[in-house]
Structure 1
Amino acid sequence: MTNTKQVCIIGVGLIGGSIALSIKETFPEYEIVGIDTDLSIIHEAISMGVVDWGTIDLNQGVEKADIIFVATPVKATEYIIKQLCQAQLKPDCIVTDVGSTKENIYESARCFQEKSISFIGGHPMAGSEKSGVKASNRRLFENAYYILTPSDWTPQHAVDVLKNVLESTKAEIIVMSSKVHDEVVGAISHLPHIVASALVNFVREKKDNPYYTALAAGGFRDITRIASASVEMWRDIVISNRESMLEILTEWERHIADIKQAIDVNDIVQIEQFFDTAKNFRDDLPIRQQSLIHQAYQLNVDVPDHPGVIGNIASVLGRNGVNIRNIYITHNRERGEGAMRLTFVSRDVQQRAYEVLTTAGYGVQIED
């Protein structure tokens, strides 16, 4: 047992539980310890085989750990790291987290430096609409990016050890500084959430005119889907990434000002270039199975407006073993979309549904 690595998961939820399952599958000899403030979650995690044993006592849970994953929300992570700095950890222990922002956490973790404890920030760029240990999935991180942001006092050996363990997740590991992480993620994830919420609030202010909410049920609903994410989580993320977000929002204001100016002076060339540049760049973006913004795998189905059509499509898919996550009827067809939008749990299921429906004679478009 002395040669067996012990991995401690603080916060046994979706992310922590999924990391634990991935490690257990690849390294069955490792001992997985769960720590949570809710004892019932610990009992559930043990019964599911997510962890080998667990406790609500932080000090008891971490004292023999070789690797500690702090798998809690950003705000709680900073507090837990301060607690870990006061705990008795093994001299060669590696501490990592899973937060969406890194600079604030990195600063909190400086207390490890004087103890020669390795700290490596982590951010698995994957998630699910489900939450809690029940939603744990050993394949959650497959093909996703998993970013590591090592502290400047952490030796390369410790980074290599953590990378080796994380290979069990089948994620693509990328190493960068915490500052670069916050700048990039702020632009491609945090800003879109702010913009989506701003768009929704903009239309909400015009709700006295019923046409706004009626016509917003189509494309507008799609591009603002992420505004329905957890309010508490995004509040904490934006506050935690304050410096980067202020710089990013200043740049964003410049882009809005530029297109506003072009519209004001009727600059046709500039307006066309604005849309053309964006279109070309987006069309060239790589498609990955996982991303910072949870992917919606959708099909648009062009169907006639008559009774029974929804049931027919559902029956065709059901007979072929295809499960539909959600069905939505669209009325705004200005983007050339079908009258029915179907959502699926994965790209594989989406592709299977496409094949089944096209074979059945329906006009189907894959929504990218």
Structure 2
Amino acid sequence: MNNITLSSKPHYPILDGLRGVAAIIVVTFHLAEPLGTGHLDIIVNHGYLAVDFFFLLSGFVIGYAYDDRWPKMTFGIFFRLRVERLQPLVILGMTLGAIGFYFTDSTLWPLIHTVPIWRMLLVMLIGYTILPIPLSMDIRGWQEMHPLNSVGWSLFFEYIANILYGLWIRKFSNTALSVLVAISAIALAQLAISYGDVSGGWTLNTEQVRIGLTRTMYPFFAGLLLSRVAKPTHIKHAFLLCSILVAAALYMPRIGGAEHLWRNGLYESFCIIILFPLIVYLGASGVVQTQAERKICRFLGDISYPLYLVHYPLVYFYVAWISNNKGVTVAQAWPYALAILVGAIILAYIALKWYDEPVRRWLRSKRQTI
């Protein structure tokens, strides 16, 4: 490819800001998770739905950014652009996870110090590709695709959705895409209602891969469809309204308890299938009211992806501390949790400015000289 120049389009600043809001809630979910005994009593109970919200945002943005560029663009160009955007922080996140691996002494991971360095480095190198490791290579004991940085599983499915879009689904008419989205919505609702939630997708086995694909297909391609058919209006105070809706959905306590799991599944189906597309539509229609609001949205959007990729290596230390001090209460844990949250945001900003942006500028310069 010679001097590839793809015309840039205006961003949706409110959608950028909402991505940052959801990323911060993900961190609070991971900080609250070890204080619960299971899905039923986690304080940030539906925080994992932020991943489904990310998938929907991603589908919307991909459709908006690329749908009309295909006459000038091959799949190879598209995939390279996606790799340039996603992989630098994947590599950083896996590296941070590897650096911290042997320092997380915990009763949860008693075998960590028996793992040879070469094996850990091999897992890290595979993690750089975002390809999942088989269960036989699990070095932490949580049966994760990426035991050095747990959140890598969602990037694996993000790539699958991007590849499906670039090779095939981008060619769908709106009617065909609507049929795919409807079928995917039914599959998602069936999963959520039968299991009681959609939590899962991070293990390389048949059941968990099915969960991961089901969680990806509806929101990503619903976002794509929305980018094609939505006609945004002009809505004031959309950022505040949408932020409240996102926070309310993700901080909602568990519904139905152990006796009525289907009720919680119904709630999650409603959030992913109806509420999240509505929030994205409102956000795309929103008008930034002040310069301060614009700066907030930009900052939140800028740190959202770095925060998602770098926070979990810090969370491992926090989880180890909780496991080594049985009976830690919320009152005792919150100062440490707040420190991790603030530290993760600072680390994300540093990663953005000192690593991600320079690396992506370099990759763009190399691409334009090919």
Q: Which of the pair has more CA radius of gyration?
A: 1
Structure (1 or 2) with the greater helix fraction: 2
Structure (1 or 2) with the greater strand fraction: 1
Structure 2 length normalisation: TM-score? Answer: 0.25
